[in-house]
Amino acid sequence: MWETGGGATNTGNSMVIAGPHGEVLRPLYIKTGGHLACGEHSLFVVGAGTVVVSASHHRGDFEIKVYRLTGKFSGKEAEAEIVACYSRGEWEGPLWDEADSGFLRKAVDAAADKARCYHCREPHFMMG
């Protein structure tokens, strides 16, 4: 699965990949040539429990979804459950109701930063 995305003048979107506990993962491959702006930047091996954070914004008004892959894979498709959603300034979902919900904060922040990164050409959430 690819970490993708970037921003334009007033909009942007991104997808970052994290471990089951929000930890930074080491990518299998990092793209360094060809079309990079707002495209695919780093490739990760994923499995059941992997967390995917999707972020999009229009003029800074964000919508963020946190998914956990269930382990049912078919080609380029993967089933996932929604762990939490952010829209209209607030979080919804069981993850954000718990006292220890901060474990995914770095992945969520990286997804938002990547969605704002003008013509992003590099990964934002990976182990070096």
Number of structural domains the chain divides into: 1
121 is a domain residue = no
Phi-psi region of 27 (alpha: psi -120 to 50; beta: other; left: phi over 0): beta
d(CA 79, CA 36): 27
Residue 98 maps to a domain: yes
* 58 inside domain: yes
Is residue 69 in some structural domain?
yes
Q: How far apart are CA 82 and CA 84, in angstroms?
A: 6
What pLDDT is stored for residue 117 in this prediction? 96
Residue 124 in domain: no
Is 105 inside a domain boundary? Answer: yes
pLDDT score at 90: 87
| Stated pTM of the model | 0.90
Ranges of the chain whose pLDDT falls below 70: 94-102, 128
Residue 61 within a domain? yes
The gap from C-alpha 62 to its chain's centroid, in whole angstroms, comes to 13
The pLDDT of residue 99 is 46
Tokens 């892959």 — which residue? Answer: 69
Range of 35's domain? 2-115
Residue 126 lies in a domain: no
- What is residue 73's predicted lDDT score, i.e. its pLDDT? 85
Tally the residues of the chain: 128
